[in-house]
Every structure is written in C-alpha cells, then in structure tokens.
Amino acid sequence: MTILKVRSSKLRGGIEAPPSKSYTHRATAIALLANGESEIDKPLTSLDTRATLDASRILGARISVFEKTWKISGTGGELKPKAKTIDVRNSGTTLRFMSAIASLSPTPIRLTGDQSLLRRPMGPLIDALRELGAQAECEGKMGRPPVVVGGGIQGGEVEITGGTSSQFISALLIACPRARDDVKITIVDELRSKPYVEMTLHLLSEAGIKIRKNRKLTEFRIPSEQEFKPLSLTIPGDFSSASFILGAAAVTGSEVSVGNLDSHYPQGDMLIIPILREFGVDVEFSGRTVMVLGSEELEGTEIDCGDVPDLVPILAVLGTVAEGRTTLANIPHLRFKETDRIHALASELRKMGAEVRELEDELRIRGTRKLKGTYVNSYGDHRMAMALTVAGLVAEGTTVVGGAESIPVSYPQFVEDMLTLGARIEVKP
C-alpha cells in the first residue's frame, strides 16, 4: 500500500489539467462499435481507462497505442469476443458501459473485477437489458457483479432509475442504437449526474447516432440498427481532476493556474468555478486557463451536488476550513462509489478535527480554525485520497494518507503536479 506524508504548504505556479477520464471512457466505448478506425488524441492513460481499452480489445476492436494517440478499428457493432470473461478491475464505468455493449455479443460474456468493484450496484442496468431482450443476470447478491450478458438487444420499452448512477443511462444510450428494434427509455426518479448523460449524447452525436430526447432528459427514443461513424477527437482537459488543484490553491490561499480546460465541451464539473466563488475564492477563467488568485477567508455555503458528485470530496475539504456552515446536499448516490464517500469523508475529516455531520443524503460541515495532521484512510478511493492530501496541506503537523496507490485511477500525475506547485509531499511505498 502506498502512503503519502503531507505537510502544511503554500502553492505557486501553473500546471496543465490531465485529459478527461469520462471523455476517454466514452470515446473508447463508441469507437469499439464504430464501422472504421477512430483516432483519439490525448486520451487519459490511467488504470480505469486502460480497463476500458482492454475490454474493447477482448470484444473485437483492433487497437494501436501511440504516445499521444489511440487508433481504434471498431467492430461495426458486430462483436467477436476473444474471451469469455472480462476483468474490469476497479473501474465502475468500464463495468457499466461494457456490460451493455457486451450484451450485443452472440455468446455470453462474464464481467467481473476486484473486491471493491464487486460491491457496486448493477441490478437496474441488468434488469433493463433483460427487459430489452438480452440475456443478462447478476451472479452477486442483491444485484451485484459479476454479471453475465449476451444474446443481443431486441428492443422495446424500458423504465430505469436515474437515482443510483447515470452510468446506467449512458450505457444503454451507447448500446441500444445497435438493437434489432427501436428502443424507448424512460427515467424514473430524479436523474442525478445529468451532465454525464449530456456528455454521452454529445459524443454519440459526433458518431452520427440519432437519439430523440425530451428537454428534461427523462425520455429517450432510439432508432434501431444504427451505424456508428468513426470518431476523430481530441480529449479535453478534465475539470473533475483540476478541481483538486484549484481546491488546494483555495484552501492554502495560493495563486495557481490550471491550463488545458475548455468550456466548449459538456462537463458538469466545470461548476467548480462558480462554486469556488461562492466560497469567496477569487477565480478567473480566461481562454483555456483557470486561475485561483487566493482568498482572504473562505465562507461556508450550501450546494446542491446532485449533478456534480465527483466534486464532493474536495468541496468537503473546503467546508472544513470555511467560516460558518457548509452543506453538501442531494448526494445519496455517493454511497455507491468506490466506497461510501458520505461516510468515509465524515469519518476521516473528523479524525483531522473537522466538525462533520453525516446524513443519509448530505454532509453538514462546520468550519474549524485549523485541521490537525493524523493518519487518514482513503479506502482505496482515488478521489478520497486526493481530497485528504489537499486537507493535509492546511493541517498542523503531518498528515499520512493511506491507500494512495488508487490515485492513478483518474489522475496519474497528481502527486507530480502538486510537487511542481510546491506542495510538501513524500511518497512512501
């Protein structure tokens, strides 16, 4: 297990945001189904995206990996699996997307992963695929992985919850254009993380896929037997990953810039900019660069995080050192991430002296004058590990972050970028 030793630090300088993990996953999955060769420039090469790349190979894509480009010759939707099992390791996105895509296979495919992944919910997606005519079942208890899928998607109408994971919806949107008959998808309950569905729709449109939708994104009508065109795409920078650097600058009162951030691509976590301003941070966004210009004092605020769940870990850290109370609301879906992030954030930040109240679907945080360094556990969750590292930058003494080997899941250069900016961090295997 890798640990990080973090000491109080002041940051200064600039870095480039890493490529978007979410765009890389989606572009790879769509390229797998395309008729022809897609070219994906500047993809994120991380533990999670490698899982999607490897799964695509198993399902029949021919892939060439260069230093800054992936070339993917797709299957045209006619999958020819090279193995009966796909190990997606720790990647929940890979599991959801590839389960839906693998249901197009003429032969059954089993998808499994590590112990953390086997706790992730899959029941709503597997039930939906079965209702649409595919062979689909969960081998785990209570709708948990491993899953077995195949036989093709016939089509028809299906209802699915939008409250557990938007990845279920994105997975169906990617796979169902290859159904034998038209598909109608109706979302019941609140659709959380809506910007991620918008991201999926954007890339599907780039691939020539036609999907009729209503304004609220609660109903989708998908014509059958569509052909995916190859993609030619440069992956944009990731606001989700950049939020940890911007948040670190905010809590330390530092001047830091993050480049490679493009506002023209749908990314819900772009909301980190107005949210930081709500906390009282001086932020400028010019061209493709976001600059945090320091802050005299952070102010507590209330945020509906239903569409930005990946921002919650860093926002919780901001709340611990902000004056007054911060409420991070509408986040029940955080209990189904790599770990139960609501409970984990409350537990670990309390160890550092923060006042955090855990509710079923929100966190209430009372700001404290100073956090205290101690040992904190990230539970093998990459966003927890990065958030707790940021907390260590404003804590008295030394903060030891356990489970930091998970960070390359989404941001392989995180520690290197933090060191470039002046953070006092030691890596201990």
Backbone φ, ψ for residue 121 (5° rounding) = -70, 140
Residues 107 and 204 in one domain: yes
Q: What is the pLDDT of residue 226?
A: 98
> Token digits for 97?
């997307």
Q: What is the pLDDT of residue 252?
A: 96
Among 204, 234, 264, the domain boundary falls at: 234
> Token digits for 231?
């993609």
Containing 220, the helix (H) or strand (E) segment is strand 219-222
Among 197, 216, 234, the domain boundary falls at: 234
What gap in Å lies between CA 309 and CA 269, rounded to an integer? 9
Among 179, 212, 234, the domain boundary falls at: 234
Cα 395 versus chain centre, distance: 27
Amino acid sitting at position 350: R
Q: What is the pLDDT of residue 295?
A: 75
Q: Is 310 a catalytic residue?
A: yes
Q: The CATH number of the domain where 151 resides is what?
A: 3.65.10.10
Q: What is the pLDDT of residue 189?
A: 87
> Token digits for 144?
């948990």
Q: Which residue of the set 48, 87, 307, 310 is catalytic? A: 310
Nearest to 417 by CA among 257, 188, 189: 257
Starting at the earlier edge strand, list the strands of the sheet with 219-222. 156-161, 183-188, 219-222, 212-213
Residues 45 and 117 in one domain: yes
Residues 94 and 128 in one domain: yes
Q: DSSP secondary structure string, 70-96?
A: EEEE--TT----S-SEEE-TT-HHHHH
Residues 267 and 412 in one domain: yes
Name the one residue in this structure whose structure tokens are 């839906």. Answer: 100
This prediction has a pTM of: 0.93
Residues 118 and 44 in one domain: yes
Total count of domains within the chain: 2
What gap in Å lies between CA 241 and CA 87, rounded to an integer? 25
Residues 245 and 385 in one domain: yes
- pLDDT tens, N- to C-terminus, the chain (429 residues): 899 999 999 999 999 999 999 999 999 999 999 999 999 999 999 999 999 999 999 999 999 999 899 999 999 999 999 999 999 999 999 999 999 999 999 999 999 999 999 999 999 999 999 999 999 999 999 999 999 999 999 999 999 999 889 999 999 999 999 999 999 999 998 898 999 999 999 999 999 999 999 999 999 999 999 999 999 999 999 999 999 999 999 999 999 999 999 888 889 899 999 999 999 999 999 999 999 997 778 999 999 999 999 999 999 999 999 999 999 999 998 998 889 999 999 999 999 999 999 999 999 999 998 999 999 999 999 999 999 999 999 999 999 999 999 999 999 999 999 999 999 999 998
Residues 115 and 258 in one domain: no
Residues ≥6 apart with Cβ < 8 Å to 43: 19, 24, 27, 28, 49, 69, 70, 235
Residues 145 and 248 in one domain: no
Q: What is the pLDDT of residue 406?
A: 95
Query: 416: domain range?
Result: 3-18+237-428
Q: What is the pLDDT of residue 314?
A: 98
What gap in Å lies between CA 225 and CA 216, rounded to an integer? 26
What gap in Å lies between CA 221 and CA 228, rounded to an integer? 17
Residues 190 and 273 in one domain: no
Q: What is the pLDDT of residue 217?
A: 95
Residues 134 and 146 in one domain: yes
Q: What is the pLDDT of residue 130?
A: 98
Q: What is the pLDDT of residue 78?
A: 96
Residues 97 and 213 in one domain: yes
Residues 66 and 139 in one domain: yes
**Residues shown for the chain:** 429
